[in-house]
A and B are shown apart, each in its own frame.
Chain A
Amino acid sequence: MGGRPWALVAPAVVGLVFLVLPFVGLLVRAPWRAMPQLLSGDTVWPALRLSLTTATAATAVSLVLGVPLAWLLARTEFPGRRLARTLVTLPLVMPPVVGGVALLLVLGRNGIVGRWLDDWFGVTLPFTTAGVVVAEAFVAMPFLVLSVEGALRGADTRYEEAALTLGASRFQVFRRVTLPLIAPGVGAGAVLAWARALGEFGATITFAGNFPGTTQTLPLAVYLSLQDSPDAAVALSLVLLAVSLAVLLALRGRWTTGAQA
């Protein structure tokens, strides 16, 4: 309403342009004519399928482990809770490549935990599709945890008290009252985590390598084709852009209406 100070509007417009212009460039310089040929190669579809399945699996892992973790951080009091909260956010600020190296040291075949996994269960994670999921979940889960923790802190705990007075156990309260109440927050967190996992590059290439068909996700394919065929890289980037945009728009619409319903 009324006056919009230029001191705010000018940088805002610059910021908007800065964020949007690269995509415009992508669209303008895209080799539209060669597109069918570029996308018909046998790199695109396996990489796309792998990206979608691993991002979804990583989101599932994040939900199963991250929602209880968020509950622990938001609703309980234990020594070292603040420290735990800081450590949870560490993957957010750490370069993903460092995360990949750390994962190798822990879960690699000679890693602290990986050795046992190999000896006892014959499970090897590095350079497998499961390794891609692990790397993606490692970088994506903090987004979900923070989002769900925020939702839990904002939720009205009196509903939980009401459920307790009706005789529900603490776990029943969580499952039947808390979780439905924070569903929009969980949904938003899951979308963030999924998007982060879909774009994951550094931790994946470090921990899982770059094997077409098993660990080469779309971002890895984009990076590698940039070396020898820049046009193919642009085409692949457009696919990635279209997919993330489509999924985010679809889910966002659903969750915003869900929050109001």
Chain B
Amino acid sequence: MTTPQHPVPAPDPHSPDPHSPDRAPGGTSGGASGRAADRPGGSEGTGREGVPASGSLPVEGSAPGVGGIGGVAGVGDAAALDARLVVDRGAFSLDLALGVASGEVVALLGPNGAGKTTALRALAGLAPLTGGHLRLDGTLLEDPAARVRVPAERRPVGVVFQDYLLFPHLSALDNVAFGLRAHGQSKTEARAHAHEWLDRVGLADLARSRPRALSGGQAQRVALARALAPRPRLLLLDEPMAALDARTRLEVRTTLRRHLAAFDAVAVLVTHDPLDAMVLADRLVVLEHGRAVQQGAPADIARHPRSDYIARLVGLNLFRGSARGHEVTLEGDLTLTVADATDGPAFAAFPPSAVTIHRSRPDTSARNQWPVTVNGMERHGDQVRLDLVGPLRLTADLTPAAVADLGLHEGSEVWAAVKASQTRGYPA
């Protein structure tokens, strides 16, 4: 199979031997840092499936750059994407340092107007940087100071837009073939490859449909196939699930997760939904007012949010396991009872506010209960966030009054319980 060649962007004046963006991820010198390098080989080689012993999704301390506010944490020569995105537009300014390894998925999370979409457009080349730099696979794509700017159409970048922007006058097949043809493939060749891609996202029988005839979930998958078909080295997803209803979200999240896990280059995802961010990304970057206020593995941020805002935003206990009906079995033979019945690989999730703390084993109907030790306590607004260690690592939100009543302190041994009705199950 021939791979469409991305044109090599303008030569990097600082590097005598610029890497082609098509270069295999392993080909960059020094190897990738962080998870990408630690990932096991073999069929599970995409690595993000790896479930830590505790059953909680993100591997502890494994994400590069935990907690490095605004800094280029974890970024060495090995970062496939090395950027400092500076966009100054008077009233609004973005200044975001971003280093992402090959195979890593980073989510930009933040409220509306935080600069997420601006960052994405700058990465795609749709909005110019006013400062900083952007380097992908060792090739300089943009550096205003050096007057280097590779235009959008010559960047090896694929974008899944918020409302997909499938070309309404082209069939699903020709939408996917569009990028391949733009990269010089003949019509028949491009269509054959586009067909393979549609097959990969499970839409081969809708190849001839116009975008208008597709459901939201189908359109999203066509948009994903279209973005991936020219084999970009940087995949950008702008609120990939914002336009979907709750039911379709589950299905699309699962598809998206599978494809992101199989994607060997850099993926950057913009979302305002912490669940999407936690399920899909290896690392979160929380943006506020154009600045990164916290970044790290999702669970680390949930445990130690730096602000009340982040505590509210990234408060979720998320576990991966295998579901049978309402029971999700995690590693270590722990079982969580969840409200939604699913089968097969699944996520179980509940907010910190759903966790109740008891001094002794609670005599309730709650089936999800475990003895835990208080590992840390942090006050956020009118809540205290507890970091609990036990068979599961949990975060819990309690009122200061409840903390006082229970006489909690670091090291306290207590029981934690969660009602099944407040525990959601999602197919993974």
Contacts and interface: CB of A to CB of B under 8 A. Distances in A.
Interface of A: 158-159, 161-170, 172-173, 176-177, 180-181, 183
By CB atoms of chain B within 10 A, which of A162, A167, A172, A176 has the most? A167
A180 B158 contact: no
16 contacts: A159-B167, A163-B167, A163-B178, A164-B152, A164-B153, A165-B125, A165-B153, A166-B179, A166-B182, A166-B226, A166-B227, A166-B230, A167-B7, A167-B153, A167-B179, A167-B183
Interface string B130-154: 0000000000000000000001111
B169 A181 contact: yes
B165 A180 contact: no
B32 interface: no
Interface residues of B, number: 26
B226 A167 contact: no
Contacts of A169: 153, 182
Nearest to B177: A166
Main secondary structure of the interface of A (DSSP, over half): helix
Given A164-B125, A166-B158, A167-B6, 19 more contacts: A161-B152, A161-B165, A162-B159, A162-B161, A162-B165, A164-B152, A165-B124, A166-B227, A166-B230, A167-B7, A167-B183, A167-B230, A168-B153, A169-B153, A173-B153, A177-B167, A180-B167, A181-B168, A181-B169
Interface in B110-128: 124-126
Nearest to B153: A164
B255 to A, nearest CB: 20
Contacts, number: 62
A166 B167 CA distance: 12
A134 B302 CA distance: 72
Closest 3 CB pairs of A and B: A166-B179, A168-B182, A180-B169
B379 to A, nearest CB: 44
B157 interface: yes
A97 B230 CA distance: 56
A208 B169 CA distance: 42
Nearest to A166: B179
By CB atoms of chain A within 10 A, which of B124, B158, B169, B230 has the most? B169
Nearest to A161: B126
Contacts of A159: 165, 167
Contacts of B6: 167
Contact of B158 (A158, A161, A165, A172): A165
Interface in B179-194: 179, 182-183
Contacts of A180: 167, 169-170
Nearest to A160: B165
B178 A168 contact: yes
A178 to B, nearest CB: 11
A170 B157 CA distance: 16
Contacts of B153: 164-170, 173
A253 B155 CA distance: 43
A154 to B, nearest CB: 14
B211 to A, nearest CB: 11
Nearest to B223: A162
B187 to A, nearest CB: 12
Interface in B245-291: none
A161 B151 CA distance: 11
Nearest to B178: A166
